[in-house]
Homo-oligomer: A and B are copies of this chain.
């Protein structure tokens, strides 16, 4: 049955490209043992752009992602902020954030969200994290949306005490107490 073969080939094509995206139609044709034209029809049907366009998109995407990771002082999206008092941020657990072995989110991402929120709430130009007490209550998995709420509970000298609680849909998954030190002079 040709119809089935086509679907199978489409699947194989997508898989092949996701593992080696820099293949030409020629190479793909050889790999799948069909003609180049068939590959091109397949790409058309599947909406897969040509090699050069794919490459360009990958370069741009990856570049943008790198920039985002590198330069974001707040990990997660800040959705509410009362400077010096409280703040809320949302972060969705992506593929990149989970451990390969068990698909559970790496602790430092959850920590990063809480910690950077704590710093954002204070907006002290030179503030650094001093001490933190953190508790991971429930393992978090791929796809979960985490909502972190930070609250400044006390100030003593140049030390701020910030509590951050993180929930998923159902429950509190993480809880932390930070002491943030302001280096303002």
Contacts and interface: CB of A to CB of B under 8 A. Distances in A.
Interface of A: 22, 52, 55-56, 58-60, 62-63, 65-66, 69-71, 73, 75, 95-97, 99-102, 104, 106-109, 111-112, 115-116, 125-126, 128-136, 139, 183
Contacts of A126: 101-102, 104
Nearest to A58: B59
B128 A136 contact: yes
B136 A129 contact: yes
Contact of A115 (B100, B108, B125): B108
Given A52-B52, A111-B111, A104 B75 contact: no
A139 B128 contact: yes
A73 B100 contact: yes
A63 B59 CA distance: 8
Contacts of A107: 111, 115, 128-129, 132
B108 A75 contact: yes
A92 to B, nearest CB: 15
A99 B112 CA distance: 13
26 contacts: A22-B56, A22-B59, A22-B60, A52-B55, A58-B63, A59-B59, A62-B65, A62-B66, A66-B96, A70-B97, A71-B100, A75-B108, A106-B112, A107-B129, A107-B132, A108-B108, A108-B112, A108-B115, A111-B112, A112-B112, A129-B136, A131-B134, A132-B132, A132-B133, A132-B134, A132-B136
